[in-house]
């Protein structure tokens, strides 16, 4: 059963082609959705909710970050839930939007010594969890969210992105 309706838009240079990004996104978000349903009891609507992915650049995400978060700087990923959802709550028909910035992700991947696709995978999972109401503002929330990220990424064959760091 398909659990998600994934729509993608590529609005910047430097990204892989649409087919490759859609295939990666379906694998990553499908794995994350299945994990949440199986391990966390996350309910899903009968009709797969839509999640929109925007693959963009630093300039675009900087403008969005300034407008919506009052932070006039680029960031790696932004998530905008379609409807307010708390962890374990049933999402609506529009799960939300995840926006990713190519230059920031590439720079961070290089700094971390990780392949671009591995870092992108982590950020897709991170953004996806935000759409389900997970957050990392408080240390207990951060521990829970990072634990979920780590377990989902392990299911995708990737190591713990946080290693020996304290929750952020």
* pLDDT at site 125: 98
Mean pLDDT throughout 143-163?
92
Of the pLDDT bands very low, low, confident and very high (cuts 50, 70, 90), residue 165 is low
Of the pLDDT bands very low, low, confident and very high (cuts 50, 70, 90), residue 37 is very high
Mean pLDDT for all residues in the chain: 93
Angle at 54 between CA 49 and CA 55, to 5 degrees: 140
Instruction: Say which range, 122-126, 129-133, 141-145, has the weakest mean pLDDT.
Output: 141-145
* pLDDT at site 168: 44
Instruction: Say which range, 59-68, 72-81, 131-140, 147-156, has the weakest mean pLDDT.
Output: 131-140
Of the pLDDT bands very low, low, confident and very high (cuts 50, 70, 90), residue 161 is confident
Query: pLDDT of 46-93, one tens digit each?
Result: 999 999 999 999 999 999 999 999 999 999 999 999 998 999 999 999
Report, in this order, helix, strand and coil percent for the chain, each rounded to 5: 45, 15, 40
Checking if the pLDDT of 100 tops 80, the result is yes
User: What's the rounded Cα separation, in Å, for the pair 71 and 9?
Assistant: 24
Checking if the pLDDT of 30 tops 90, the result is yes
Instruction: Give the whole-number percent of the chain exceeding pLDDT 90.
Output: 86
Checking if the pLDDT of 2 tops 70, the result is no
Domains of the chain: 5-155 (3.40.390.30)
């Amino acid at each position: 059963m398909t659990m998600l309706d994934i729509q993608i838009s590529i609005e910047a240079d430097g990204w892989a082609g649409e087919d490759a990004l859609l295939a990666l996104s379906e694998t990553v978000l499908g794995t994350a959705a299945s994990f949440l349903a199986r391990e966390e009891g996350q309910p899903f609507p009968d009709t797969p909710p839509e999640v929109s992915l925007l693959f963009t650049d630093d300039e675009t995400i900087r403008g969005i970050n300034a407008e919506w978060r009052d932070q006039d700087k680029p960031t790696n990923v932004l998530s905008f839930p379609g409807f307010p959802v708390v962890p374990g709550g049933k999402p609506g028909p529009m799960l939300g939007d995840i926006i990713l910035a190519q230059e920031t992700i590439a720079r961070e991947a290089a700094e971390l010594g990780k392949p671009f696709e591995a870092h992108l995978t982590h950020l897709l999972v991170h953004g996806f969890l935000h759409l389900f109401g997970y957050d990392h503002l408080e240390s207990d929330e951060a521990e829970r969210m990072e634990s979920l990220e780590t377990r989902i990424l392990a299911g995708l064959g990737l190591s713990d992105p946080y290693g020996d760091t304290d929750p952020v």
